[in-house]
Chain A
Amino acid sequence: MLDPRDGRTLLAAAKTGHLGPTIFRSTNRGRSWKEASQPPAFAKSPNDQKARAVDHTFWLTPCHANEPNVWYAGTSPQGLFRSEDGGDTWQPFSVINDDPLYREWMGSVQDGTPDGPKMYSIIVDPRDPAHLYFAMSGGGVHESLDGGKSFAPLVKGMEVVEMFDPANIAFHDPHCVRLCPSNPDRLYQQNHCGIYRIDRPSTEWTRIGRKMPKKVGDIGFPMVVHPRDADTAWVFPMDGTMVWPRTSPAGKPVAYVTRNGGKSWQRLDNGLPETQAWWTVKRQAMSADVHDPVGLYFGTTSGELWMSRDEGQRWTRLAQHLPEIYAVEAAKIP
């Protein structure tokens, strides 16, 4: 992740096979990298039987433009951390890491999803650094209006797996939440159970994925918003039937775009494999640049990097034979 405030600091989360999780930093746009001197780690609590250890840092968010060098990190298992020195040292942030109610919503090791329960989509309102959102799998979407002193759930309207109680925050599984830069009162969400939109100050999400074709469905991981048009957003659907195989529906990868806030969706598959392509795109592996028309980028579970120079009308493969791609970020170099 490039720091848009200085245009040169890059942070990358890493989990080495034997040595545990860390953060690497570059202050020269990636020419050289150095390990953070104090990566995110939960506070010690020797008497707490439920004490946790960070398995990996999953999400990195540069803070507000008026708070240079401040970053947030989300971890697996779910934890919220903050750095005030450009990502070199990290401290637990807010009360939620140890709050009994939040710990209940975060679930136990038994609840852990295949690669661990996660915190992500840490969003700072561009108008107000004290207005924060984050999401957890499992555990829902949450909002703070007081700079992280307290958080409250924001899950009304979000559906949960059939026959479960949506009143139980632990059952909520947002996959990716994005705030529209051109209208910070509008957020989009790709959830375990559909695609949603919310327009603040409303506190209720609307499932806009119902208008997706039935054969494709509205399950997936990434959600991408347009840098200047809050009615435009992209998704990359995944096979959401039965065992969740992390492949495209019917082996046909495709992006969908809405240009009217989710009232309708259009298929964008020109240039993508037409059949037998058994990969998909994870929640941080699709992004947009700020050009006009917008450039879109995604990385696949099979290690391919794709781009479109025209908002998804035509796709081109940039690279293949890479390892599985977890995250793709587009950055404008000053």
Chain B
Amino acid sequence: MKVLIPGPLLSYTQQREVEAVGSTLAELLADLDRQYPGLHFRVIDERDRMRAHMRFFVNGEQVFDMSRPLHPSDFVQIVQALSGG
């Protein structure tokens, strides 16, 4: 499925939009880490929690549950909150 990558993670993917697979959000992130080693730890911490300021949207709806089921036709957006100053 199509995954939108936020600016701060472009150093991993080199592109804004990538393809990845997985039947849950957790699996999708695991696949992204296989393709782009190190990316997973930038968005999920060692206790498997979403890092602060990291947001996930599936088809435009914000998701907080890593076990959220995904379908190949879904569009996943990863967003980094950057503002504050």
Contacts and interface: CB of A to CB of B under 8 A. Distances in A.
Contact of B84 (A110, A115, A241, A243): A115
A114 B52 CA distance: 8
A114 B8 contact: no
Interface size class of A (residues with CB under 8 A): 20 to 34
Nearest to B10: A242
A161 interface: yes
Given A110-B52, A163-B4, A118 B77 contact: no
Contacts of B53: 110-114
Contacts of B52: 109-110, 112
Contacts of B54: 110
A308 B53 CA distance: 37
A116 interface: yes
Contact of B50 (A110, A115, A163): A110
A280 B85 CA distance: 10
Contacts of A114: 53, 81-82, 84
A113 B84 contact: yes
B55 A110 contact: yes
Q: Interface of chain A, helix or strand or loop or mixed?
A: loop
Interface in B57-85: 60, 62, 64, 77, 79, 81-85
B10 A246 contact: no
Interface size class of B (residues with CB under 8 A): 20 to 34
Nearest to B8: A243
B83 A192 contact: yes
Contacts of A115: 84-85
Contacts of B60: 165, 168
A115 to B, nearest CB: 5
Nearest to B7: A242
Interface in A112-169: 112-118, 137-138, 161-165, 168
Contact of A283 (B50, B79, B81, B85): B85
Contacts of A242: 7-8, 10-11
A250 to B, nearest CB: 18
Contacts of B84: 113-118, 137
14 contacts: A110-B52, A111-B53, A111-B81, A113-B82, A115-B85, A117-B84, A161-B79, A163-B16, A165-B60, A168-B60, A192-B83, A242-B7, A244-B8, A280-B85
Interface of B: 4, 7-8, 10-11, 16, 50, 52-55, 60, 62, 64, 77, 79, 81-85
Minimum-distance CB pairs A-B, first 8: A113-B84, A244-B82, A282-B85, A113-B83, A243-B8, A115-B84, A114-B84, A113-B81
Interface of A: 108-118, 137-138, 161-165, 168, 173, 175, 192, 221, 238, 241-244, 246, 280, 282-283
Given A110-B53, A115-B84, 9 more contacts: A110-B54, A113-B84, A114-B84, A137-B84, A161-B79, A163-B16, A242-B8, A243-B7, A244-B8
